[in-house]
């Protein structure tokens, strides 16, 4: 994956503050004016990652392609019906598109961006990177979750948080490797952790 460690912004390195004057450019070439948090309001605050990924306006943009296979709507799902803004990491879009191409089968994002209230409603983790626009839960048609996890690790290496579920996997952009399982997963936490370590080590050879 290109720019695996790169910033979500093409014109400056993230320094722990929002890039209020920057415009994210997605793999499709699409770009959107960013919306300051003070304009969007506390509903869209990002206490997880200090607004590293800027807010973009959803209105009339849900069908806009961010990459060959995915639109804005792909990453916001039902949130797009009730909310005006969202955070969608450029690097996350690149990653999901790359996994789709490795899989060569339809990839469906079950959960992408979540405003804090939505995350709380579904009992997501308090510091969920979904709030920051840097995580996705997804499945690939006809492919078991463990096989999908293998594709994700082959693409991302050790720079990922990855969770194995009964029918989906979760990935989040991060510098260090972390793994876990959800209820119904075919492996235990210990089994999956060992498998992840072996897979990433093999991929780095």
Give the count of beta carbons closer than 10 Å to the beta carbon of residue 183: 6
In the Cβ-directed half-sphere of 98, how many Cα atoms lie within 13 Å? 19
**pLDDT tens profile 71-92:** 999 999 999 999 999 999 999 9
Would you state the pLDDT for residue 33?
Answer: 86
pLDDT exceeds 80 at position 135: yes
Can you give the pLDDT at residue 201? 86
pTM over the 0.85 mark:
yes
Contacts of 46 (CB under 8 A, 6+ apart): 37, 52, 53, 87, 131, 132, 133
Torsion of CA 192, 125, 22, 101, to 10 degrees: 30
Percent of the chain with pLDDT over 70: 88
CATH of 34-204, one of 3.50.30.60, 3.30.420.40, 3.50.50.60, 3.30.1380.10: 3.30.1380.10
The answer to whether 75 and 112 have CB atoms below 8 angstroms apart is: yes
- Please say if the pLDDT value at position 7 is more than 80: no
Q: Using one digit for the tens of pLDDT, what is the confidence trace for 144-173?
A: 999 999 999 999 999 999 999 999 999 999
Domain boundaries, the chain: 34-204
């Amino acid at each position: 994956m290109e720019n695996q460690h790169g910033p979500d912004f093409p014109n400056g390195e993230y320094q722990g503050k929002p890039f209020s004057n920057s415009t994210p450019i997605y793999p499709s070439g699409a770009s959107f004016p960013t919306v300051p948090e003070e304009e969007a309001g506390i509903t869209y605050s990002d206490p997880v990652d200090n607004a590293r990924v800027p807010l973009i306006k959803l209105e009339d943009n849900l069908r806009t392609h961010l990459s060959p296979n995915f639109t804005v709507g792909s990453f916001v799902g039902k949130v797009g019906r009730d909310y005006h803004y969202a955070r969608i990491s450029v690097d996350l879009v690149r990653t999901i598109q790359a996994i789709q191409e490795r899989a060569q089968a339809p990839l469906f994002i079950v959960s992408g961006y979540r405003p804090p209230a939505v995350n709380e409603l579904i009992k997501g983790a308090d510091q969920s990177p979904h709030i920051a626009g840097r995580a996705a839960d997804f499945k690939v048609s006809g492919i078991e979750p463990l096989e999908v996890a293998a594709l994700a690790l082959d693409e991302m290496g050790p720079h990922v948080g990855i969770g194995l579920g009964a029918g989906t996997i979760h990935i989040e952009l991060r510098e260090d490797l972390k793994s876990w399982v959800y209820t119904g997963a075919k492996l235990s936490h210990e089994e999956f952790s060992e498998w992840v370590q072996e897979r990433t080590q093999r991929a780095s050879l």
